[in-house]
Amino acid sequence: MRIEVNRARCVGLGVCESLSPEHFEVSDDGVLVLRDDSVSADAVATIEEAVRSCPTASLTLISRSEQAGA
């Protein structure tokens, strides 16, 4: 699985960073940096929470089957 960010929607509030600093970081200028876009099985629940918690719906978790069909 991997994470996608809709840069047009993201405003850098940092909710995702507070939930998973291993994957997300908001830079000093307010831009979201994906520290790691791949999601291991043990991190799925945390990333799903970050996706659900994003106030601008900027995050998407893409499964392997969705990646293969693209």
Q: Residue 17: name the closest of 60, 63, 54 by CA.
A: 54
Residue 31: pLDDT band (50, 70, 90) is: very high
Residue 69: pLDDT band (50, 70, 90) is: low
pLDDT of 54: 98
**Cα dihedral 36, 1, 17, 32 sign:** positive
> 18 is written with which tokens?
């507070």
pTM of the entire predicted model = 0.86
Using one digit for the tens of pLDDT, what is the confidence trace for 38-49?
A: 999 999 999 999
Q: Fill in the DSSP letter of residue 45.
A: H
Residue 70: pLDDT band (50, 70, 90) is: low
Instruction: State the CATH architecture for 2-65.
Output: 2-Layer Sandwich (3.30)
Residue 49 phi, psi (nearest 5): -65, -40
